[in-house]
Amino acid sequence: MMAPMTVPMEISGWKPAPFALGGETVFAVGDVHGCVDELRALLRAIAVLARESGGRRSLVYLGDLIDRGPDTVGTLKLWAEDASHRGVDRVERLIGNHEIMMLLALARGPLADKAAAMWLSKAAGGDTVLAQMRAAAGDPRAPLDYALAAEAFGEEVMGLLRTQRSHLRIGNAIFVHGGIDGREDTGTFLAPHWSEFTDARWAWITRGFLDWQGGFGGTLVVHGHTPPAKHWPLTHMDDPHLFLHDRLGLDGGSAVTGIVVGAEIRDGGYRILKAGTPR
């Protein structure tokens, strides 16, 4: 039996930012994409840091737990564990565009074929997850449907996947997978349900958000979705995990870079948490 993988952890110093969370400490986790060892290391570090913090403590997953990486099944089982396992008071799970594609493909509704084509592409990485699902179910030819997902992931995970939130507001911050459009009313922009697929632009947006420098009406946005390589052309930020223009991005590019990124956020500042070995 192989020994558990030892994953390096890096915790930055505290950086100032005008977060006003009413005394709450928020641990936000960016895109994981099936990198279960890195997620496990990050969650262990969060549990230690949570014991050191005062007041209410929340863990917020920013979406895109699935696809591309080596173990989506194991990742979702960790993701499904409750607050008592994480050393926090509550766990909030936000949906990413990759979960949207998978869930719509499984639902076999009017958008299923388009969603499945996008999700099973090499670019999205759903083909890797389908293989993992079939292996977990013990059926290499199982069709892509809800029964396969429930067998592979378990009914508890499926229930949590279907009830993920689009966003979460804490104090002056919004936590959301993709972002918001600075040119539109925030409430209107966030209103579409994830089942509206790409019309739920809060899960997909890059341009109009990352290249926007006009603020969001006093709201600070904590997000994932855009890995470093795609972040730089829009922001020209050498470090995509710095708070700038009222945004804090936490997508470390996990399946490509080997790094899963999170943050500990408190009133007045934040620090970045990185798990993994750079590739």
For 149-183, the pLDDT digits (tens) are: 999 999 999 999 999 999 999 999 999 999 999 99
Interval 176-222: pLDDT, tens: 999 999 999 999 999 999 999 999 999 999 999 999 999 999 999 99
Cα first-last separation, the chain: 26
pLDDT reading at 96 higher than 50: yes
Residue 5: the pLDDT is 62
Percentage of the chain beyond pLDDT 70 is 98
146 in any annotated domain: no
246 in any annotated domain: yes
The domain that holds 197 is classified in CATH as 3.60.21.10
Residue 2: the pLDDT is 42
Residue 4: the pLDDT is 52
Rounded to the nearest integer, the mean pLDDT of the chain is 96
Phi, psi of 137 (to 5 degrees): -85, -10
135 in any annotated domain: no
Residues 6+ apart with CB under 8 A from 84: none
Whose tokens are 């592979």? That residue is 152
251 in any annotated domain: yes
Residue 54: the pLDDT is 82
pLDDT reading at 42 higher than 70: yes
Residues 6+ apart with CB under 8 A from 157: 76, 77, 79, 80
Angle at Cα 269 formed by Cα 263 and Cα 270, nearest 5°? 15
For residue 238, the enclosing domain spans 9-96+164-276
* 254, 31 contact by CB (below 8 A): yes
pLDDT reading at 63 higher than 80: yes
39 in any annotated domain: yes
Residue 3: the pLDDT is 44
Domain count, the chain: 1
| Segment 255-268 mean pLDDT | 97
* 146, 155 contact by CB (below 8 A): no
| Segment 1-11 mean pLDDT | 73
125 in any annotated domain: no
pLDDT band at 108 (very low <50, low <70, confident <90, very high): confident
